[in-house]
Structure 1
Amino acid sequence: MSPIELTIFISRVESICQEMGAVLRQAAFSPNIKDRLDFSCALFNASGELFAQAAHIPVHLGSMAYAMRDIVTGVEWRAGDILALNDPFLGGTHLPDVTLVSPFFVGGKLLGFVANRAHHANIGASSPGSMPISTRLEEEGLVIPPTLLVQAGTLVASEIEKLGGLQGADVIGDFAAQMSANRVGVERLSDLVKKMGSAKFVDGVDEINAYGERLARAVLATIPKGRYAYSDLMDDDGCGTENIVIKVAVVVEDSGITVDFEGTSRQVQGNINCPLSVAAAAVFYCFRCLLPENTPACAGVFSFISLRVPLGSLVNATRPAATAAGNVETSMRIVDAVLGALSSAIPDIIPAASQGTMNNVAMGNHDRVPPWDYYETIAGGSGASMESPGASAVQTHMTNTLNTPIESLEMHYPLRIRSYALRRGSGGKGRCDGGDGLVREFEFLEPAEVTLITERRTTVPWPLDHAAPGESGLNSLDGEPLPGKCQLKVTPGQVLKVETPGGGGFGRGTPL
């Protein structure tokens, strides 16, 4: 392909991912998917290598890119199949994120796969929102190993019935939306291959990955060779273990980059453990941020990165470790640690730490008729850089969701939002200030159960170049402080207040 043809081809396959996302959003029932956009869509070649994705959720896409080759092997695929999985130790992230994979065939030949991953607020955990303070994987909900929901175009009734056992009217509707998104992806890819021809399509996919690798290696050449180390801490695991270490060494050589997690804490009792796919996603994200904006999202971009991750550590946990928060919280700290290491190598590019948490809030009532489950992550401040202040009230790093609109939230659930505002002054001061966090107050109109899984409540988002750190976050109920990770029952009229962290500042001297 000529450069122009390759650019057009990249746009065409990326547009298929975008259309899949549009279908999923429009067909979904739950606010978590249709309003917060907590989903991702991607395309893979016949070997399970990523060649296109939409700009959705980094932790979803990076983990799918890492694990898909293992997911698709060992299955005798047929046209019309749809496979589901959420097992963190078999290619998933945490149980609420359910992945659907469909093969696409042209002329009887397997040419690749379409996949989407969406977060379900109810995946069968005993606590509403399916984000419990858990100690074992099985406590977090329904574990779905790679399972065919549809075989050759026919629904597998026994597997659909298992999903139907989950409470809430939205669940089956959201799964149907995911299936529809995959069907659209298969149709569009099949149409594209018929227009181009199979050989040219396969060559185009190979050229995308080769082009991505060339761009990535050009950036690698600009990073000074050497070994750069950094350590950061998780506040706690929700079960009494505090100040849990994530230690990273980034080794830059001519041949590639090795990210070594030797010295990271062992897996813990609580639910902040990571499967390897999530750790890989966080590392991939950090290096993707260094590449030109128009770099295609493909396997070639990450081909020069290798990982050394001790088995049984916090970031490469083994079954039956609880993982509900590893995907959403530990992934954020891995990013902080990797960027902290890179700040020694390329200080003019790397920003200070962002809020370092997704501020997970899960709530609902399974005893109510009908039952309800609600889940969201709350934005905060991003870290300042050498040239600009951090942004305020934004989702950062491994999440890219929207907030739930107040109108939608109050229409669907027995809740009232009392306040939603900037947490002014929470960003770290410096020559460039860190971004400010948010304040969000929930008033409960009915009895409910609430789970908070938050970080940076005892540690702070770090600054760079002698600036001040961002402020830690705060949680409270009716003005009384709450720990960063907790489950509690609330009564009508009580108010939950979440104050999210600010970003770290950059530099000392006169503010820009």
Structure 2
Amino acid sequence: MSTRTGTDVDKITLTLVHRQLVNTCDEMAVSMMRTAYSPIFSEGLDFSTLILDREGNLVANAGLNPSMLGASLYAATWIVREVGAENFAEGDVYIHNDPYRGGSHMPEHMMVMPMFVDGELVAFIGNIAHMAEIGGMAPGSFAATATDVYQEGLRLPPVLFYKGGEPVKDIWRIMLANHRTPNDSWGDLHAMYGSLQVGRRRLEQLMEERGTDLVTRVFSGIQDYTEAALRENIRALPDGVYHGIEWFDDDGITSTPHAIRLSLIVDGDEIIFDFSRSDPQATGPINAPYVVTMSASLNALLYMIGTDLPVNAGLNRPVRIVTKPGTICCVQLPGACVGGQTEYQPRVMEMIMGRVLGPLLPERAAASSGNTSLNFLFGGIDPRSGEYYAHYHFEATGWGGRMSTDGNNATMPPHANCRNTPVEIFELRWPWIHESYRLTRDEVGAGRLRGGAGVVRVLEVAADTISVSALSDRAHQEPWGLFGGSDGSRTRIDISPAGSEEFVSFQEHFGLVSPTKFTNVRLHRGDRVRLTSPSGAGYGPPAERVPDLVARDVREGYASPEEAESVYRVRLDASGDVDPVATARLREGTSA
């Protein structure tokens, strides 16, 4: 057991300085949002901003994208160790996106910049951001049928991107020559660089106000505090070994399901997540680098027992993540892995939160949300400008019910706090027309606390041709209910060819292996695409739902009068109000 507590800094000072560090990360994030070129930054907020100590250990971050936690904890330390701290100089910036060097998946690029005080290295400023386009076999760089990492885009080891404050132009030329939308990449990379400068200035001001020695002791103290608090929370769990399993529908190459198997070991004030019995790595891109498995495990643990803890490298100390290289949970080169961050990670999180720790902590558990980002990628020549465009779009889902409330409607999967791209931005930037965009109210999982609604988005192609790709899951397996709740609904990706009123699945129309994973399907003007995200599952037996809530659900379209009676055991009168006598008889199992 660790004896580190961070008590060399009093708790008030520790709290105030840490809050200033987090505020600095928040300001960095606002800078990135306001100066970015791509909507995935400016609207989606698919990035994280970081302050790290002089070894590259995470000290503070903006609370934007939990999915990047593993890379935030590991990628910077990899850069520092590979480059050597002694080789950093004032104004240098390194960049990398290698999933085999502590990265998550290749679209997410990490930048780190050292900070010196009186010639001494005292900290690093960093960020991780999902670039909208980095080359590879598909526009948007999400190739659902990729079979190795070389098909997924331009892979960078840690390379010097700015030297002494000046751009290393050869690296810029290589990157922009391999990106389909170099103008957007140029702007987004500068937005990332600008946020580092904001962080450096604010951290310098903080050290001038508080003293460099105090601030660096807070770096250490806040990590010690997180470790001690997490250990205390783990001790409250009963010792034992707990098991869980989740399945992918397919990997985009074959229709074979792939299993993720977990043994979670609680031992005193430590936890081991053992994924070593999981299936061998897939041929397709659903595999996860080690840091993604780390993200999933730590995020699930924080949701369950650490929602009030500062997020930093102290999380690693009481927790071990065990995997076997060459499995779906720890991909080996050259395995494809772009889908691990968006599809694998939420699947593992919800398995831990619902099926593994849920029985121990039912008051904090939630039924399944469908846990897919429903990644939809597209690109081509915009007829309005004659320029190439590409976009990575993700869709919201319905969350599962939980003990205290119904599931959220149309919210990103719980491993990310990203936002959707507004319809107005969507149609302004790319050649699509929205026919409709609505909630799937009639598909939610029933329960004492019901699931939330997913969304249905119908788009019409407004260009002569467009290339589309998708990487999603849950087409065959419904989101699972918890403690007697009903399952949610599945993912669907459908096509209505120009001139037709009927929708059929992409798989059926184009003869694809997978209903949710395909690459570079060519669509034409007038074709319509319908994206349907999963609805959340229910929590607890439907017959225990408060009757007045069932009546409200019927009024709002979440259930029909027939479902109210057959599923929830609630009889409504002609005005739509609860008939209390008939309902009591239904629930007692006597004649109504």
Q: Structure 1 residues 143 and 366, CA, compared in 2 at 3 Å: closer, same or farther?
A: farther
Which structure 1 residue ranges, 5 or more long, are not aligned?
none
Q: Residues 70 and 292 of structure 2 are in contact (CA less than 8 Å); yes or no, is this contact kept in structure 1?
A: yes
**2:17 corresponds to:** 9
Q: Residues 237 and 268 of structure 1 are in contact (CA less than 8 Å); yes or no, is this contact kept in structure 2?
A: yes
Alpha-carbon distance between aligned partners in 2 of 1:295 and 1:399, rounded to the nearest angstrom: 18
Alpha-carbon distance between aligned partners in 2 of 1:125 and 1:17, rounded to the nearest angstrom: 31
Q: Residues 62 and 285 of structure 1 are in contact (CA less than 8 Å); yes or no, is this contact kept in structure 2?
A: no
Which structure 2 residue ranges, 5 or more long, are not aligned?
1-8, 497-502, 507-514, 547-592
Alpha-carbon distance between aligned partners in 2 of 1:309 and 1:426, rounded to the nearest angstrom: 37
* Residue pairs, 1:399-478, within 5 angstroms: 399-446=416-463, 447-478=465-496
TM-score normalized by structure 2? 0.84
**2:576 corresponds to:** none
TM-score normalized by structure 1? 0.97
Q: Residues 366 and 539 of structure 2 are in contact (CA less than 8 Å); yes or no, is this contact kept in structure 1?
A: yes
**1:121 corresponds to:** 132
Among 276, 285, 288, the residue aligned to 1:262: 276
Alpha-carbon distance between aligned partners in 1 of 2:372 and 2:438, rounded to the nearest angstrom: 18
2:71 matched to 1:47? no
User: More deviation in 336-345 or 484-493?
Assistant: 336-345
Report the RMSD for the aligned CA atoms in angstroms: 1.4
**1:492 corresponds to:** 525
**What amino acid is aligned across from residue 20 of structure 1 in structure 2?**
M
**What amino acid is aligned across from residue 154 of structure 2 in structure 1?**
L
Q: Residues 98 and 118 of structure 1 are in contact (CA less than 8 Å); yes or no, is this contact kept in structure 2?
A: yes
Q: Residues 83 and 102 of structure 1 are in contact (CA less than 8 Å); yes or no, is this contact kept in structure 2?
A: yes
**What amino acid is aligned across from residue 167 of structure 1 in structure 2?**
R
**2:104 corresponds to:** 93
Q: Residues 128 and 366 of structure 1 are in contact (CA less than 8 Å); yes or no, is this contact kept in structure 2?
A: no
**What amino acid is aligned across from residue 434 of structure 2 in structure 1?**
I
Q: Residues 139 and 180 of structure 2 are in contact (CA less than 8 Å); yes or no, is this contact kept in structure 1?
A: no
* Residue pairs, 1:123-138, within 5 angstroms: 123-133=134-144, 134-138=146-150
Q: Residues 84 and 101 of structure 1 are in contact (CA less than 8 Å); yes or no, is this contact kept in structure 2?
A: yes
Q: Residues 75 and 110 of structure 2 are in contact (CA less than 8 Å); yes or no, is this contact kept in structure 1?
A: no
Q: Residues 246 and 333 of structure 1 are in contact (CA less than 8 Å); yes or no, is this contact kept in structure 2?
A: no
Query: Cα deviations across residues 84-104 of structure 1 (Å, max 9, x unaligned)?
Result: 111111121111111111111
State the SS of the aligned residue for 2:357: helix
State the SS of the aligned residue for 2:424: helix
User: More deviation in 344-353 or 102-111?
Assistant: 344-353
Which structure's CA Rg is the greater one? Answer: 2
State the SS of the aligned residue for 2:88: coil
Q: Residues 42 and 61 of structure 1 are in contact (CA less than 8 Å); yes or no, is this contact kept in structure 2?
A: no
Query: Cα deviations across residues 121-160 of structure 1 (Å, max 9, x unaligned)?
Result: 2101232111112111111111111111101212111111
Q: Residues 70 and 104 of structure 2 are in contact (CA less than 8 Å); yes or no, is this contact kept in structure 1?
A: no
Q: Structure 1 residues 367 and 132, CA, compared in 2 at 3 Å: closer, same or farther?
A: farther
Among 163, 166, 175, the residue aligned to 1:163: 175
The aligned length equals 512
**2:313 corresponds to:** 299
Q: Residues 437 and 458 of structure 2 are in contact (CA less than 8 Å); yes or no, is this contact kept in structure 1?
A: yes
**1:434 Cα shift?**
1.1
Q: Which has the higher contact order (CA 8 A, sep 6+)?
A: 1
**1:393 corresponds to:** 410
**1:210 Cα shift?**
1.5
* Residue pairs, 1:42-121, within 5 angstroms: 42-75=50-83, 76-121=87-132
**1:201 Cα shift?**
1.1
Among 354, 366, 373, the residue aligned to 2:390: 373
2:373 matched to 1:363? no
**1:184 corresponds to:** 198
Alpha-carbon distance between aligned partners in 1 of 2:537 and 2:121, rounded to the nearest angstrom: 48
Alpha-carbon distance between aligned partners in 2 of 1:78 and 1:294, rounded to the nearest angstrom: 36
Q: Residues 232 and 246 of structure 1 are in contact (CA less than 8 Å); yes or no, is this contact kept in structure 2?
A: yes
Identity %: 29
Alpha-carbon distance between aligned partners in 2 of 1:117 and 1:507, rounded to the nearest angstrom: 39
Among 516, 537, 540, the residue aligned to 1:507: 540
**2:214 corresponds to:** 200
**What amino acid is aligned across from residue 98 of structure 2 in structure 1?**
D
Query: Cα deviations across residues 234-281 of structure 1 (Å, max 9, x unaligned)?
Result: 111000142210011111111400001122111011011111011101
Among 128, 147, 162, the residue aligned to 2:159: 147
Alpha-carbon distance between aligned partners in 2 of 1:192 and 1:79, rounded to the nearest angstrom: 19
Query: Cα deviations across residues 344-381 of structure 1 (Å, max 9, x unaligned)?
Result: 32223211111210100100116973000011110011
Alpha-carbon distance between aligned partners in 2 of 1:314 and 1:292, rounded to the nearest angstrom: 27
